Amino acid sequence: MLTSTPLRDVIAAFASAEPTPGGGSASALASSVGASLLLMVARLEKTRNQSDDDRVALRFAAGSLTGIQHQLTAAIDADSDAYRHVVAAYRQPKASDAEKSARKAGIERALRTATDVPLGVMRLSVDALKHAQEVAAHGHRAASSDVGVALALLQAGLEGARLNVRVNLGGISDRAYVEAVTAESERLSGQMSGLVRDAIASMG
């Protein structure tokens, strides 16, 4: 598993000639680190005004971000696993009509899973960004650059996941599913932009 691999080896794995880990895992990793940075700022001993309001807001944010960060970390390996299932589905035999039908159904199932994982990364990235404003507003001013990096990483992770969703949808024949996922992707991307603007405005 990538998440239990030393960092130097993770970087080497992304640089290797193997197709996994690829962009989907990289997107999940980016968002996981972004959520982690927000979590770090929320857990700092020093806050914006050293007030009880700061501590309550940051404690709430940290509680939510912990679960989000764990799910994003799990998605790093889940994306690679989903891609391997897609490859396996395409390698199924197709000599007879029955085999062709089974192969087509298997590819469809695998592609849906490979779409659902990055779509989940998009959702989780937005969930993390929903806490960015309170972390920016109540976190210590000296950590504002950390919040800024977190925002950049969460944006990169979300947009990277969106690219993977779009590619996988191209191979899915269920039009209702494709349209629903496309609409949700666009909505999540729009939410991201607004949440980032709000967080930047609160950084002060």
Work out the average pLDDT over 118-146. 98
- pLDDT in the model for residue 92: 95
User: What pTM value is reported for the model?
Assistant: 0.95
Query: What would the CATH number be for the domain defined by 2-203?
Result: 1.20.120.680
SS3 120: helix
In a 13 Å sphere around the CA of 192, the CA atoms on its Cβ side amount to 26
Omega of the bond leading into 93 within 30 degrees of 0 (cis)? no
* pLDDT more than 70, % of the chain: 100
How many angstroms separate the CA atoms of 9 and 38, rounded? 25
Asked whether the predicted pLDDT for residue 12 surpasses 90, the reply is: yes
pLDDT in tens, 44-53: 999 999 999 9
> What pLDDT score was predicted for residue 98?
94
Please report the pLDDT score of residue 97 as a whole number.
92
Is the Cβ–Cβ distance between 199 and 147 less than 8 Å?
yes
Give the separation between CA 112 and CA 106, rounded to whole angstroms.
10
**What confidence tier does 113 reach under pLDDT thresholds 50, 70, 90?**
very high
Read off the tokens for 155: 């944006």
Instruction: Tell me the average pLDDT across 149-174.
Output: 97
pLDDT tens-digit series, residues 42-99: 999 999 999 999 999 999 999 999 999 999 999 999 999 999 999 999 999 999 999 9
Flag whether pLDDT at 204 surpasses 90. Answer: no
